[in-house]
Amino acid sequence: MQDIRALHSTTGAMAAGVISQISPDQLRDATPCADWDVRAVINHLVNSNLRFAGIVTGEPAPASGEDVLGQDYLADFGDSFDRLCEAFDREGVLEQTFPTPFGEGPGALLVTMRVSELTIHSWDLAAATGQPRDLDAELVAFADKSMRSRPIPRGGQSPFAEEVSVPDGATAADRLAAYAGRRVPAPPA
C-alpha cells in the first residue's frame, strides 16, 4: 500500500507549480470559491498548512481565516508546506489520533484531507488565472475517491456548494471541481 504522504508531497509540488505561475496583478482576481479572490485562496492554503501542522505537533497555529500571507506568497506556501510535511513525517503520525473537522480520526485522515484540499484549490487557482486545469490524474482520482467516500457539507457556511454539471470535454479535474460545487468553464477550443 502506498504511503499517502508521498501523494501529499506530490500535491504540494503541484500546488506550488500553480502558485508559481500567478503574477501579483492576478491576486485580486475572482476565483470559483465564492467570496475568495486568488490571494485569499493562497492565504487559505498557507493558513491550513500551518493549522494542520499545529494539530499534529501541538504547537501554536493561526486561527482559521487569519491572514498569514506576506509579500512572497510562493515562499510562504513553500515554508508552510515544508512545516506540514515535517509534522506528517513524524514516526507513527498516520496511526495516531487527532482532532479533525470530522471528529477524532487518525493522522492518515489529516493527510488525506490535505491532498484533497490542495488538489481542489490548485484547480481553483488554475481556473482563476487561466492556467491548464488538467491536474495530475493520480491526485485527482485520489481526491475524488476521498471526497465521495463520505457525505460532504454543502451550502450555507460550508466550503462546498451543490454539485454542478460539467461542459462537454471536461477533464477529470473539472469533474472533481464540479462535484465540489465549482462552476466549470468550457474547455478551450
- Determine, yes or no, domain membership for 138: no
- Where residue 189 falls among pLDDT bands split at 50, 70, 90? low
Q: Which domain holds residue 119?
A: 4-132
Please indicate, yes or no, if residue 139 is contained in any of the structural domains: no
Note the pLDDT tens digit of each residue in 98-123: 998 778 999 999 999 999 999 999 99
Give the contacts of 163 (CB within 8 A, at least 6 positions apart): 178, 179, 180, 181
Contacts with 169 (C-beta within 8 Å, 6 or more apart), sequence order: 186, 187
Residue 100 lies in a domain: yes
- The answer to whether position 162 is within a domain reads no
Q: Is residue 18 part of a domain?
A: yes
C-alpha angle 37-38-44 in degrees, rounded to nearest 5: 90
Inside any domain, residue 148: no
pTM: 0.93
CA angle 154, 34, 41 (to 5 degrees): 105
Integer angstrom CA distances of residue 62 from 29, 41, 66: 25, 16, 6
Q: Which CATH number does the domain housing residue 15 bear?
A: 1.20.120.450
